Amino acid sequence: MALINENYQKLQAGYLFPEIGRRVREYTTANPDKKVIRMGIGDVTRPLSPAIVKAFHEGVDEMANAATFRGYGPEQGYEFLREAIAKNDYQQYGVAIKADDIFISDGSKCDTGNIQEIFGNDNVIAVGDPVYPVYVDTTVMSGKTGKLSEKGYYDGIVYMPCTEANGFVPELPSQKVDLIFLCYPNNPTGTVATKDELKKWVDYALANKCIILYDAAYQAFISDNDIPRSIYEIDGADKCAIEFRSFSKTAGFTGTRCAFTVIPDGVVAYNKAGEAFPVKPLWNRRHSTKFNGVSYPVQKAAAAIYTAEGKKETAEIIAYYMENARIMRNSLEASGYKVFGGVNAPYVWVKTKNNMSSWDFFDKVLGEANVVGTPGSGFGPSGEGYFRFSAFADRENVIEAMERIKNLE
Ligand SMILES: *Cc1c(COP(=O)(O)O)cnc(C)c1O
């Protein structure tokens, strides 16, 4: 008899984005003449930049020629890409990450989910609340949790509220935890963590033998020089942190697929007897066994991000989205909303007025302004009463959406 993984039955039905899709479809079917502007899902809208497309084409041409054709590549990723990452994303900033610490993959969603496999099921996982849902759902799938409570929390996960009061960076947990997911710049709140705040977490992890799983998918959107782009800018993080980065938001790779995970040699975890083991060989084993590498043209395209033209073009696209964010912040503030984020991240996190619930605000904004955003409560109970607007949109739509929201009564 084939048995299912019953942990899947604990997963919350009616996940956020399907529910948004359902409400939007219902509205557009009933109101076919209305022009709905979508600022909900965090997906980029600008095309790949010319330098990236050129490299992508060259990669395809090499694959079409017997002399330059490539079959399986190294599971960890091509050296040319890992070297470019180490040099440009780390060493240039004085951070001692080397090509050998980097594992190329087809996405940070997969990496942040798959990483759990190399850690035992007795680990207690801590996550922010609100949170990128992947960390929570993959924890449930792995069997580390009990059921979902009525309040929307899984038994066995430690939720760390990220609120206006703590500047959306959680307090250190009061109970024992082992693996800590942190994401800065943050999705969904669009807020950042300072060096001092991250230092507090690194010190905690070192003192308690925890590992920080640091999702830096939005690091390219940081404009403030004092805000750390990498957890490894913090002393000691190379002994307790794994960093995830993706080209999805950085360079429009959401549909092209390329990301990477960084694991320095000094990061260790323990067996039940308390002996320390480096984590990198475990991930290397997992990656080589279950993954056969990202396609060559895609890696070649990703490497082009680090060329002079690639850097310039990528910075221009990021500036375009961040100008959207600036317009959104200014307009929403002028309309009397309390606004967070949107300065070093492409998300604007808005407090609803008069304690309106996130979903009521969703329905109001959809019904009266014909704009789609994301209800904060969909990212966790502490997101209730908030709403996320994504700056990944076309400028004219941003301007029109803000105009319509200004006119809401
Ligand atoms: C978009 C996003 C990612 C990137 O996922 P990919 O699988 O690389 O496209 C990772 N983490 C967060 C929080 C994100 O919002």
C-alpha–C-alpha distance, residues 383 and 385, integer Å? 6
- pLDDT digit string (tens) for 261-319? 999 999 999 999 999 999 999 999 999 999 999 999 999 999 999 999 999 999 999 99
409 pLDDT exceeds 80? no
Ligand 1 centroid to 12 CA: how many Å?
20
**What pLDDT score was predicted for residue 17?**
87
Protein residue closest via CA to atom 4 of ligand 1: 108
Q: 155 CA to middle of ligand 1, Å?
A: 25
The span from the CA of 408 to the CA of 128, in Å, is 32
Model confidence at 364, pLDDT cuts 50, 70, 90, reads very high
Sheet with 179-183, strands from edge to edge, namely 102-105, 259-262, 241-246, 211-215, 179-183, 125-129, 157-161
The predicted pLDDT at position 257 comes to 98
pLDDT at residue 14, as a whole number: 62
- Contact status, residue 303 vs residue 55, Cβ threshold 8 Å: yes
According to DSSP, residue 123 is labeled P
Q: Whose CA is nearest to atom 2 of ligand 1?
A: 217
Q: Which residues line ligand 1 (CB under 6 A)?
A: 42, 107-109, 132, 183, 187, 215, 217, 246, 248-249, 254, 259
Rounded Cα gap, residues 326 and 343, in angstroms: 7
Q: Judge contact between 376 and 146, C-beta under 8 A.
A: no
Share of the chain above pLDDT 70, in %: 100
> How close is the Cα of 254 to the center of ligand 1, in Å?
8
Is this structure's pTM higher than 0.95? yes
Q: Which residues pair with 179 in a beta bridge?
A: 125, 211
Cα–Cα distance for residue pair 332/398, rounded to 1 Å: 11
104-133: pLDDT as tens digits? 999 999 999 999 999 999 999 999 999 999
Q: Is the pLDDT of residue 15 over 80?
A: no
Query: Ligand 1, from 111, 182, 248: best to mutate by most atoms within 8 Å of Cβ?
Result: 248
pLDDT score of 13: 72
- Host H or E run for residue 309: helix 308-334
Residue 245 has pLDDT above 70, yes or no: yes
Q: How confident is the model at residue 10 (pLDDT cuts 50, 70, 90)?
A: very high
DSSP state of 157: E
* All structural domains of the chain: 6-47+309-406 (3.90.1150.10), 53-307 (3.40.640.10)
Encode pLDDT of 377-390 as tens digits: 999 999 999 999 99
